[in-house]
Amino acid sequence: MIQAINAALDEEMAHDARVMVLGEDVGRRGGVFLATEGLQQKYGPDRVMDTPLSEAAIIGAAVGMAAHGMRPVAEIQFADYVFPGFDQLVSQAAKLRYRSGGQFTAPMVVRMPSGGGVKGGHHHSQSPEAHFAHTAGLKTIVVSTPYDTKGLLKSAIRDDDPVVFMEPKRLYRALKEEVPSEEYLIPIGKAALRREGSDLTLISYGGSMVETQKAAEELASVGISAEVIDLRTVMPWDKQTVLNSVAKTGRVLVISEAPRTASIASEVAATIAEELLDQLEAPPLRVTGFDTPYPYAQDKLYMPTVTRILNAAKRVLDY
């Protein structure tokens, strides 16, 4: 996945001279996870800029650059660090088109490693996508595969409005997949059908896709056919693909490692209940992280495990 990010940035910087990268240590070092490795040497320090340790300044500068015609890609070292820049993102970037009556937009991307699974503790493991999905004016993507990462990041850079791009850090070097060197884009707001099935629907995104697909394989081994949907974009999310699947199966789990309350999983489950109540064979269930600070010692238990997903599937199937 980390190579897919680097390739997407490289291609877009070559494609459009307005694209630039900024963030802490993104230049000579290539970023904390080396996602921008080699880009400063190739494009120079005016287009790959090291910044002070100030997320408010990074995002604020990106808003100004975007308003004046650039296409900045800001890197936040960990999603947990974005909150000092939260005001710039939700009050300035997200509102620029609306408050200017369409005279200005903020075509910018804020990339951030998110989620747990690397024993990072409570300041390096959070999944804050619901904060951004709740903010009108922002698009929010959470990727789960290298192929999607490249295609969606390129689409995000070309988008005329601000995009929050979240990368599960535990997948950076955990997945291998063929990623074309040819040009391709994946549309923002379109979910992926990862597996067809007829008995229940499993909906997830980001890092939890790994456990979700393993659970679907376990279910298949005992004769239960699970359809698996990867949302990919959590705002705007692909409601039609979700509803079509759940209308077919009548049973659904929504899986995410973010805390449960007011989460993406909650929004998806509530929408399904509103739209498809008469077609459901069981109440929609959520399998999520917990409403606690992220625990340092038990991060593998905090995130939805295959066992937790299978237990929830049994409840839905036995209802």
Residues with a catalytic annotation lie at 124
Contact of 289 with 118, CB cutoff 8 Å:
no
Query: Which of the 8 DSSP states describes residue 254?
Result: E
Strands 233-235 and 139-142: antiparallel
Q: What one-character-per-residue DSSP string does 264-309 give?
A: HHHHHHHHHHHHHGGG-SS--EEEEE-SSPPPSTTHHHHSPPHHHH
Q: Which of 54, 93, 86 is nearest to 72 (CA)?
A: 93
Q: Which of 211, 215, 207 is nearest to 232 (CA)?
A: 207
**Token reading at 20:** 């630039």
Q: How far apart are CA 20 and CA 108, in angstroms?
A: 10
Query: Which of the 8 DSSP states describes residue 263?
Result: -
Q: How far apart are CA 314 and CA 312, in angstroms?
A: 5
Query: Looking up tokens 């659970």, which residue turns up?
Result: 215
Q: How far apart are CA 169 and CA 50, in angstroms?
A: 21
Phi, psi of 278 (to 5 degrees): -70, -15
Q: How far apart are CA 56 and CA 85, in angstroms?
A: 4
